[in-house]
Amino acid sequence: MAAVLRERAGTEEVRAARRRADGAPPRRKGFQSRGSRSLVLLMLPGLAYFLLFHYGALVGNVIAFKEYVPFDGLWGSPWVGMGNFQRMFEDGAFWDAVLNTVWIAVLQLAFYFPVPLGLALLLHSLTWSSVRRFVQSVAYLPHFISWVIVVALFQQLLGDTGLLNTSLDGMGLSTVDIIGNPDAFKPLTVAQVIWKDAGWGTIIFLAALAQVDEQQYEAAAIDGAGPWRRFWHVTLPAIRPVIVLLLIMRLGDILSVGFEQMLLQRDAVGPEAAEIIDTFVYYQGIVGGDYGFAAAAGLFKGVIGALLVYAANKVAHRLGEQGVYK
C-alpha cells in the first residue's frame, strides 16, 4: 500500500514538472475550480433568501425607535428614541406576557426536550427494521398536521363538550373542562407540543445514534456492562455533542413558544394565562396599530435570544464541547 501511494505521489510530481516545463498555468484549486463554482451557484438562491428576508429585514427594526406611521413611511415617521422601550418596561401586560412565555418555555425545555431523545433510543433498540420504520412513520405524522387541526382535536377530546366529558357524563360522573381551565393551560400546551413534534425531533438523534460504533457496545457487554451502563458510558458520550448543539439552538429560540398554538387558544382561557410575547406583539402592532411599540417588544425578544445563544455557547466551550460556533 505504501509503495502504491509513493508511486502515485511520484506520478503527480512528474505531471506537475511537465506542466511547468511547458509553461502551462498551474491547476486551479479551491473556489476557482469548476466544481466549487457549481456549488456556489447552487448556494446562491438560498443565500439570496437569507440576505433578503432575514438580514435585510433587520433594517425594519428602526421603527422600534420611532412613532411609526405607515403613511409617513419608514424614514418619515418621527423619532422617539427609547420612548417605546420605556412604555414597554412600564406596561404590566408586557411583563405578564414575558412571565407566561418564560413559564411555558421552561416547561417545554424540561418535559419536551428529553422526549425525542428517549423515543430515539427506544427506536434505535428495535431489532425488527419493519417495526422500526412503521413506528417512525406514525411518530413523524403529527408534525405535518397544522396547529389548527391539532387544537381542534384536543378540543374534541378534552373540551367542555368533548369525548372525555361526554363519557364522564354518561357514567354519571362530574365533568371537567380542561381546555377552558387557565390553570391547566400551560401543561396542556406542553402535552400538545410533545404529541405533535416529539417524533419529528427524533430524526437528528437517530442519525447521531447510527454513527455509534457497535463494537463499543459489544466490548462493554463483554466487560459486564448492563444496558444502563452502556447508555451512560457509550451512547451518551457519543451523542453528547449533538445534545449540546440542539440545546443551544433551543435556548436561542426559547422565547418562541408557538404563536399559532397560543393564538388559537387565547380566547378560551383568557390573555392572563395564554398571552405570550408573540401574541402581545400581534395584538399591539397588527390589531392595535401601535407598530413602534410592538417592534420594541419584538426587538427585546430577539436580543434576549441572541444573548442566551452566546452564553450557552460559552458554557459549552468551557465544558469541552464545540457548540454552535468557535
Q: Tell whether 6 is covered by a domain.
A: no
Give the SS3 label for residue 306.
helix
Query: Tell me, what's the pLDDT at 35?
Result: 64
Query: Tell me, what's the pLDDT at 218?
Result: 80
User: What are the φ and ψ backbone dihedral angles of 66, each rounded to 5 degrees?
Assistant: -135, 160
| Cell numbers standing for residue 27 | 491547476
d(CA 280, CA 297) in angstroms, rounded, equals: 8
Instruction: Supply the DSSP symbol for 231.
Output: I
Query: Tell me, what's the pLDDT at 34?
Result: 64
Contact 305, 255 (CB under 8 A): yes
Bridge partners of 79, per DSSP, are 66
Query: Tell me, what's the pLDDT at 297?
Result: 92
User: Residue 287 is part of a domain; what is its CATH number?
Assistant: 1.10.3720.10
Query: Tell me, what's the pLDDT at 13?
Result: 56
Ordered per-residue pLDDT tens for the chain, 326 residues:
444 344 444 555 556 555 555 554 555 554 555 667 888 888 999 999 999 888 888 888 899 999 888 888 888 889 998 999 999 999 999 999 999 999 999 998 889 988 998 888 888 888 788 888 888 888 889 999 999 999 999 999 888 888 888 888 888 888 888 888 888 899 999 999 999 998 888 888 888 888 888 888 888 888 888 888 888 888 888 888 888 888 887 887 788 888 999 999 998 888 888 999 999 999 999 898 899 999 999 999 988 888 888 888 888 777 777 766 66
Q: Tell whether 234 is covered by a domain.
A: yes
How many independent structural domains does the chain possess?
A: 1
| Cell numbers standing for residue 16 | 506537475
Q: Which amino acid is at 271?
A: P
Give the SS3 label for residue 90.
helix
The boundaries of the domain holding residue 278 are: 66-318
**pTM to 2 decimals?**
0.78
Q: Tell whether 248 is covered by a domain.
A: yes
Query: Tell me, what's the pLDDT at 3?
Result: 46
d(CA 174, CA 165) in angstroms, rounded, equals: 8
Q: Tell whether 169 is covered by a domain.
A: yes
Q: Tell whether 28 is covered by a domain.
A: no
Q: Tell whether 171 is covered by a domain.
A: yes
Give Cα separations from 304 to 20, 78, 123, 211, 309 (angstroms).
57, 27, 36, 35, 9
d(CA 124, CA 208) in angstroms, rounded, equals: 10
Query: Tell me, what's the pLDDT at 324?
Result: 66
Contact 63, 77 (CB under 8 A): yes
Supply the DSSP string of 218-273, one letter for each residue. Answer: HHHHHTT--HHHHIIIIIHHHHHHHHHHHHHHHHHTTT---HHHHHHHHHHH-HHH
Q: Tell whether 38 is covered by a domain.
A: no
Query: Tell me, what's the pLDDT at 17?
Result: 55
d(CA 77, CA 290) in angstroms, rounded, equals: 13
